[in-house]
Amino acid sequence: SLLPPLLALLCLGVADPNPDPDEPWCPYKVGGDGAAAAGARLCFRPPARGFQCAARGCRSHRSAGGALVANVLRNGSVLLQWGLRHWGPPRPAAALRGFALNCSWDGTYTRFPCDSVELGAACRDYLLAEAHGSVRYRLCLQPRYAPPRPAPPAQCVEFRVEPAAMRDIVVAMTAVGGSICVMLVFICLLVAYITENLMSPALARGGAAAAA
């Protein structure tokens, strides 16, 4: 049956059975509460190496400690990036067991939880593919270490995703404004051409006739 492989492809990125050791894949589990968390499927995704948040299509939001960055992209997705050097004193890399990511968003009267994510020790980024517009998100990330080392406190970042309708309006206004500017430039050039090439000879002939 082809159903199990197709279900595996639904995860955000499928791991190569023999991954390159120089570029480790990020294993993660997306779960909720209770039975949903117990049945979470293990998925893999490649790291987003070399990603930089361009000013025109992306906005960055950094946690207070500086370890966690949320890059809110123009298409409504959010790429989270983090490092370990902002999480207090250095700890042995072998003791790192992974990361716990918790998500919540503000409703009208209360705060609602999003899906929680468990990430492997090799993970340094995570893609939130579909974030709702006009909703304020709060994402908290906490490293997990093997006992007896205590886990450092979580670092949190808050952001709001621009609604898709507003993005479309901004794009449309930008396009219309650019067209208007081009038309004004063309009109100015046309007026200058008429003044230079048509009006000047007429004035010159009128001055010659008056002199005669």
Contact (Cβ atoms closer than 8 angstroms) between residue 50 and residue 42: no
Q: Is the dihedral of CA 97, 140, 69, 129 positive or negative?
A: positive
Return the higher-pLDDT residue of 197 and 44.
44
**Nearest C-alpha neighbor of 60 from the set 114, 125, 106:** 125
pLDDT in tens, 142-201: 999 988 878 889 999 999 887 754 444 444 455 455 567 767 777 787 777 777 776 655
pLDDT value for 7:
35
| Region of residue 66 (phi > 0: left; psi between -120 and 50: alpha; otherwise: beta) | left
Return the higher-pLDDT residue of 205 and 105.
105
Q: What are phi and psi of 69, to 5 degrees?
A: -125, 130
- Measured CA to CA, the distance from residue 95 to residue 145 in angstroms comes to 5
pLDDT value for 57:
85
Lowest mean pLDDT among 6-10, 51-55, 123-127: 6-10
Q: Which helix (H) or strand (E) holds 181?
A: helix 164-194
Q: Residue 209: helix, strand or coil by DSSP? A: helix
- Two tokens, residue 182: 């081009």
92 pLDDT tier (thresholds 50, 70, 90): confident
Chain-centroid distance of CA 90 in Å reads 29
Return the higher-pLDDT residue of 163 and 45.
45
pLDDT value for 212:
54
> In three state form, how does the secondary structure of 114-176 look?
CCEEEECCCCCEEEECCCCCCCEEEEEEEEEECCCCCCCCCEEEEEECCCHHHHHHHHHHHHH
Lowest mean pLDDT among 67-76, 138-147, 203-212: 203-212
